[in-house]
């Protein structure tokens, strides 16, 4: 009985941990190639049924990284598909209607 309970708790913990694991939706490089934007969401959101074409409607965040992987900034978004509407400039990137991140 104890072993079954322990196995059950480990299984529940594993599923809970995996559900919060970040999943990558898309990457968009900056026009100059110095930075890259990465849209991510939590894994459990891919388990929720959606209509075809709605996969970009997941809430998540967009992280701006340098080409060597250093984090420059982050913006929470209602839809990870907002990565397609980024406005890059020489010293910042704008996530439309959400945030401006200095590069």
pLDDT computed for residue 55 by the predictor: 61
Answer yes or no: pTM beyond 0.85.
no
The percent helix, strand, coil of the chain (3-state, each to 5) is: 30, 40, 30
Q: Where are the chain's structural domains?
A: 22-102
Selection from 38, 40, 91 nearest residue 65 by Cα:
38
Q: Which of 8-17, 20-29, 46-55, 78-87 has the lowest mean pLDDT?
A: 46-55
Per the structure block, which two tokens stand in for 64? Answer: 């701006």
């Amino acid at each position: 009985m104890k072993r079954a309970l322990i196995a059950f708790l480990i299984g529940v913990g594993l599923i809970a941990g995996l559900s919060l694991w970040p999943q990558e939706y898309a990457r968009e490089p900056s026009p100059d190639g110095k930075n890259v934007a990465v849209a991510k969401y939590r894994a459990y959101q891919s388990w929720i049924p959606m209509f075809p074409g709605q996969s970009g409607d997941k809430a998540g965040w967009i992280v701006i990284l340098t080409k060597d992987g250093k984090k420059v900034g982050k913006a929470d978004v209602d839809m990870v598909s907002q990565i397609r509407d980024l406005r890059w400039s020489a010293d910042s990137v704008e996530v439309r209607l959400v945030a401006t991140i200095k590069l």
